[in-house]
Amino acid sequence: MVQAFPNETICRFEGVSEPLLIEAMLGAGSQGQVYKVLLGEDSYALKWYFPGYIKRDKDLHERLTRAVSIGAPNKKFIWPSAIVRAKGSLSEAIGSKGFGYLMPIRPKGFVSATEHYGGFVETTIQSIVIACRELCSAYHALHTRGFCYKDLSLGNIFLNPANGSLLVCDNDNADVNGRKSGSVLGTPGFIAPEILTQRVSPNFETDLFSLANVVFRLLMRHDPYCGKRELSIPVMDSAARMALYSRNAVFIFDPENSTNRPDEVVHAGVNMVWSIYTEAIRELLVRSLSKGLSSPSERVLTGEWIDGLSELLNRRCLCKVCDSEVFMEESENTRICWNCGEMVTAETCLHAGESKILVSPGTSITESHFRRYSYGEDDHEVARVIRKNDDKAVIGLRNCSAHDWRAVLMSGKTVMVSSGQTCSLSALREMHTHVGLIRVCSV
């Protein structure tokens, strides 16, 4: 593909005070090309649109102007920061009507969600649940601003497999809720059925359908509508796709319609993974992807997703035999490990604010445990349960904050726990932190 801007060239643009150094082309798609550029000493990404796409999407410039004006809804969006146009000799070379926008460069450590979906990324269920919660938090912030995204899919999400951090890219499609503008309606397989049948334009409710679709795919690594029916389709043409995802769509775990259940052999994986999660999470997925197919008002709201996924993290345990992650129902303190078949028992929990968190290595205590989750805002880790390096049976609570804490031991003795230090959980009665009290209790 011919680059609009050759590597290692300095280009002057309207919209920025200094020239940009074009370092390399990062990629290209149907809309345009993306470059890594240097503005002064800072790196950015430049998306430059093809003339044909600008002609098709007549509201693009207005949308971008509005996006730059309001700023990113929260830190999870790789949001447009400035609109740029070529000027001088560059304008004569590539055309005066072309434009693009600058955005932050994606940090290292993030991979496309499509790689996780394809099974090419090593991660944990905990990290994926955190990524799902961050995605819902991001969309809550977007919707609170009065914007809908319109084209949510795995292709515009990046996640960090190590910790579940998430970023949303391709934000030039975002627009005022319900506004009929732009050429993008969504990505096949993720689009709400009422858009496919041309009843409505993208809006909050269609976003919620796509959001549930993405959450399902992240948790299950499977398409929510690809069961036995898909296996019977000889050619997946546009008519077959319309039937599978719109007119005759049936969620593979629809409790009232079993005609599209996963095949016991071909889809054995998703059957097993479905059983890993709690009934509360499965019910949220059923509401959005089954009942929500024909009733948009049934779709789970972003705040409900955040609460549900937060509670799922609170119910996480590790199998002592195989280290697999197991999620307890609210009424349970034992469960059979889905991987090795051994009994997993939750013995200790932490009370932080109004939250009850089961204890296992990797358990994270965040600021939101001490208050109602501030939807759409960043949440910060306060403490983490860790294993002792030379004895995995010994676990402790690490102070992950920048503050010093006061620990009350079972003996009644009080000790200080500085930032970065760990206190053995077997000896701990309660921890007085800068955000609230953490009490150690039996389940």
Model confidence pLDDT, tens digit, residues 75-119? 999 999 999 998 766 655 565 578 999 999 999 999 999 999 999
Q: Check residue 261 and give its pLDDT.
A: 96
Phi-psi region of 381 (alpha: psi -120 to 50; beta: other; left: phi over 0): beta
Same domain, 16 and 128: no
Say whether 231 sits in a helix, a strand or coil.
helix
Express each pLDDT in 319-357 by its tens digit: 999 999 999 999 999 999 999 999 999 999 999 998 999
DSSP state at residue 244:
I
Instruction: Give the pLDDT confidence score for residue 8 in this predicted structure.
Output: 93
Measured distance CA(433)–CA(370) in Å, rounded: 10
Question: Is residue 210 one of the residues assigned to a domain?
Answer: yes
Q: Is residue 332 domain-resident?
A: no
pTM over 0.75: yes
Pairing assessment for the beta strands 325-327 and 334-336 based on DSSP bridges: unpaired
Say yes or no: 250 and 357 in one domain. Answer: no
Cα(209)–Cα(149) distance, rounded to whole angstroms? 12
Are both 16 and 72 inside the same structural domain?
yes
Instruction: Please measure the distance between the N-terminal and C-terminal CA atoms of the chain and give it in whole angstroms.
Output: 61
Q: Is 313 exposed, middle or buried (0-12, 13-18, 19+ CB in 10 A)?
A: buried
Single out the residue in 41, 71, 104 at which a domain terminates. Answer: 104
- List the CATH number of the domain containing 71: 3.30.200.20
Q: Are 298 and 159 members of one domain?
A: yes
d(CA 282, CA 268): 17
Same-domain status, 120 and 230: yes
- pLDDT for position 388: 80
CATH label of the domain that carries residue 406: 2.60.200.20
Task: List phi, psi (to 5°) of 46.
Answer: -115, 120
Q: Which helix (DSSP H) or strand (DSSP E) does residue 349 occupy?
A: strand 348-352
The residue range of the domain holding 99 is 9-104
Q: 369 CB contacts (<8 Å, ≥6 apart)?
A: 352, 353, 355, 357, 382
Is 4 a member of any domain?
Answer: no
Residues of the chain with pLDDT under 50: none
Report long-range pairs for 199-202 (Cβ below 8 Å, ≥24 apart): 202/148, 202/149, 202/150, 202/151, 202/175
Tally of domains in the chain: 3
- The tokens of 121 are what? 């990324």
Decide which of 306, 331, 356 is a domain's last residue: 306
Question: How many other CB atoms sit within 10 Å of the CB of residue 51?
Answer: 12
Q: Which of 104, 133, 149 is the last residue of a domain?
A: 104
Q: Tell me how crowded residue 294 is: count the other CB atoms within 10 A of its CB.
A: 10
d(CA 376, CA 387): 32
Please give the pLDDT value at position 242: 84
Same domain, 145 and 271: yes
Q: Based on the domain organization, do 133 and 93 belong to the same domain?
A: no
Return the pLDDT at 374: 60
Strand-strand pairing, 405-409 and 428-432? antiparallel
Burial class (CB in 10 A: 0-12, 13-18, 19+), 72: buried
The encoded tokens of residue 125 equal: 């269920």
In a shared domain, residues 229 and 248: yes
Half-sphere exposure of residue 303, counting CA atoms within 13 Å on the CB side? 6
Whether residues 433 and 357 fall in one domain: yes
Task: Please tell me the predicted confidence (pLDDT) of residue 153.
Answer: 96
pLDDT given at position 98: 87
Verify that 165 and 75 share a domain, yes or no: no
Q: Decide: helix, strand or coil at residue 368.
A: helix
In this structure, is residue 297 part of a structural domain?
yes
Beta bridge partners, 441, equal: 349
Do 100 and 132 have their domain in common?
no
Q: DSSP letter at 426?
A: G
DSSP state at residue 402: S
Shared domain for 49 and 186, answered yes or no, is no
Name the β-bridge partners of 327. 316
Q: Please answer whether residues 151 and 209 qualify as being in contact, where contact means their C-beta atoms are separated by less than 8 angstroms.
A: no
- Examine residue 377 and state whether it is found in any structural domain, yes or no: yes
Q: Is residue 329 part of a domain?
A: no
Distant-in-sequence, close-in-space partners of 372: CB < 8 Å, separation ≥ 6: none
The per-residue DSSP string of 48-82 comes to EE-HHHHHH-TTHHHHHHHHHHH--SSTTB----E
